[in-house]
Structure 1
Amino acid sequence: MDIAAGAREIDHSTRVFRFAPSPNGELHLGHAYSALLNHRLARENHARFLLRLEDIDLARCSHAYEEQIVEDLHFLKVDWDETRRRQSDHFDVYAKGLDVLRETGLCYRGFMTRGEIRRFAELRVEETGDLWPRDPDGSPLYPGLDRRQPAEEQDRRARDGESFAWRIDVAAAVERTGPLEWEEWGRGPDGESGRVVAKPAEWGDFILARRDVPTSYHLAVVVDDAIQGVTDVVRGRDLFYATSAHRLLQDLLGLPAPRYHHHDLILAEDGRKLSKSARDTSIRSLREAGLQRADIVRMLGLEGVV
């Protein structure tokens, strides 16, 4: 399958929105805000609205959580227009996307674990006194020590059972694509809007797939958005910086770029981002406490909007 050929050409006169939670925990107020906002924008614009389950993490995601998500969305009166899509049903499609990227010569196997990356960064700080660069999520960038390792040596190490992740040589990829940008009709963390310059180098050589899972969040989401013809990606501001990585992959794969709207986050009382582990903000717990849809809409400040 040609990934680009399988993508639906974006027609902004026929808009498509989507809500894409991971079924690895219960929906919380932040998810409710995003689902309700997407649904309202889709209905106002006579657009299609899709539900996608981003469940590539098979160890943490479950059918029970998926069904809970569906139940909570029905409670919120959020409906969708097509059969829900599970990413775990499409690993073959993502594997083909990975093959396309590998054929560019821009990918390599990275054998360092998270712990090894962290220790490498700490040693460099001790040796030089300079801070090791970190990605927008705060993780140290991959050192890329195996970036120039011959393919034969990488193959041998993989055959010997060493754990690895497929990574992209971002510097070489950016040199190939040239400058990239996206259309932002929401607002970034620093007030960015309009045409935003993508900065994929901030992520370093990010992961495309792992040895046992032929995709990553970054790869799966751009392939899915293209195949489903998504025109408008409306999601939390915590994913604003990830858009730079997504624009890089879209360009390399020959995929269309949606418009993006990054909305405000619903935060806990202490100012932290809501977590699925904090059950007191889950939609299920609020329902069990007797709250109705109108109560949740009021808590989210969406009265008169949805």
Structure 2
Amino acid sequence: MSGRLIHFNKTRIAPTPSGFLHLGNVLSFTLTTALARLHRAKVLLRIDDIDQTRADEKYIQDIFDTLNFLEIPWDEGPHNAGEFKDSYSQMHRLPLYREVIEQLKDSGLVFACTCSRKQLEKAPCTCFDREIPLDTKEAAWRLHTYKARELSIRSYNDQTVTAVLPADMQNFVIRKKDAFPAYQLTSVIDDLHYGVDLIIRGQDLWSSTLAQHELALALGKSEFQDITFYHHPLLTDELNQKLSKSAGATSVLYLRQSGKTPAQIYTMIANMLGLNMIINNWEQLAEIVLTFYKNNPAPAINGAGLHK
């Protein structure tokens, strides 16, 4: 950031326990922690387990195993899986989520949707015009969004980026067919609940950032616009595809079980970014990557990795 160094209150590491963490997650965690230290912010570990059908206990344990093995620190949140389940699971915040869902309902800003994934792959949702009753069994609730509304995002470079919600995020789901709140809603409420004012995430979540600003406006929570966002490029594989959670060759679990040291894992990440050097720890990786970003203009918000 230009000029005087700004102090932030809090940022967060927010993995979803739907698979084993991979090298791309590690890059994001290291950048988050480094920027927190730079700006004297605390790091919250927030595990997004609202999708109980995918939040497997072994993936929750993997988050703690990975952070501890790679010696990536955090300041707030659970320190083990048991503490997470007892005090920090999103299930404890269900009343908060349901309260804002009811607020949106009472404001007339949601509509029911019975479309299946296969239907949505073939054609856009038309449920708004069908006026399906909200109490319809196994109907999702979608937020009625504004196609041309400009959204203002506070960027890390001291600029405000304006954009409109992309077509694929119009009328996004805020309550799923199982009546549980959806990711966009829980993320907004959690960030406000914990007082997060700096969010570091991959460029693939740019559309989510826009959706969350749209949702915050609908809820009248203008304070969400005060959050600063930093979108970093992604790690990609040899086919230029972003990494996915799996037990494959880019998962930290696989690498750890194969005998790789933290230094070797950090070096792998640097090499995947086109930075041919040996890295010893997360601080060194973050410093080198952030310096590269500073000295080389960042790619477009939806761009790919550094090696492009």
User: TM-score, length-normalised on structure 2?
Assistant: 0.77
Which one of the candidate residues 128, 131, 139 is aligned to 1:147? 128
What amino acid is aligned across from residue 275 of structure 1 in structure 2? S
What amino acid is aligned across from residue 113 of structure 1 in structure 2? S
Contact 2:30 2:285 in 1 (8 A): no
Deviations 1:133-180 (A, max 9, x none): xxxxxxxxx432x31445xx6156x1xx3x210001113xx67xx532
Residue 62 of structure 2 is aligned to residue 68 of structure 1? yes
Shift of 1:26: 0.6
Structure-2 residue corresponding to 1:20: 14
Shift of 1:278: 5.3
RMSD: 2.1
Which one of the candidate residues 85, 90, 99 is aligned to 1:87? 90
Consecutive unaligned residues of structure 1, counting only runs of 5 or more, are 1-11, 122-141, 187-192
Shift of 1:27: 0.5
Structure-1 residue corresponding to 2:143: 168
Contact 2:247 2:253 in 1 (8 A): no
| SS of corresponding position for 1:215 | coil
Deviations 1:11-49 (A, max 9, x none): x74421101111111100000001111111112222110
Which gives a bigger RCO, structure 1 or 2 (Cα 8 Å, sep 6+)?
A: 1
| SS of corresponding position for 2:59 | helix
Consecutive unaligned residues of structure 2, counting only runs of 5 or more, are 1-5, 79-87, 287-308
Residue 102 of structure 2 is aligned to residue 99 of structure 1? yes
What amino acid is aligned across from residue 87 of structure 1 in structure 2? Q
Contact 2:11 2:199 in 1 (8 A): yes
Residue 41 of structure 2 is aligned to residue 47 of structure 1? yes
- Structure 1: how far apart are the matches of 2:171 and 2:238? 35
Deviations 1:246-284 (A, max 9, x none): 111112223322111010111112211111135110011
Which one of the candidate residues 185, 201, 206 is aligned to 2:172? 206
What amino acid is aligned across from residue 112 of structure 2 in structure 1? R
Shift of 1:297: 1.6
Structure-1 residue corresponding to 2:249: 280
What amino acid is aligned across from residue 91 of structure 1 in structure 2? L
Change (3 A) 1:107 1:300: same
| SS of corresponding position for 1:241 | helix
Percentage of identical aligned residues: 31
| SS of corresponding position for 1:245 | helix
Residue 152 of structure 2 is aligned to residue 181 of structure 1? yes
Shift of 1:305: 4.0
What amino acid is aligned across from residue 128 of structure 2 in structure 1? R
| SS of corresponding position for 1:170 | coil
Structure-2 residue corresponding to 1:250: 216
- Structure 1: how far apart are the matches of 2:247 and 2:8? 38
| SS of corresponding position for 2:50 | coil
Structure-2 residue corresponding to 1:37: 31
Deviations 1:112-147 (A, max 9, x none): 21222334x2xxxxxxxxxxxxxxxxxxxx432x31
Contact 2:166 2:207 in 1 (8 A): no
| SS of corresponding position for 2:100 | helix
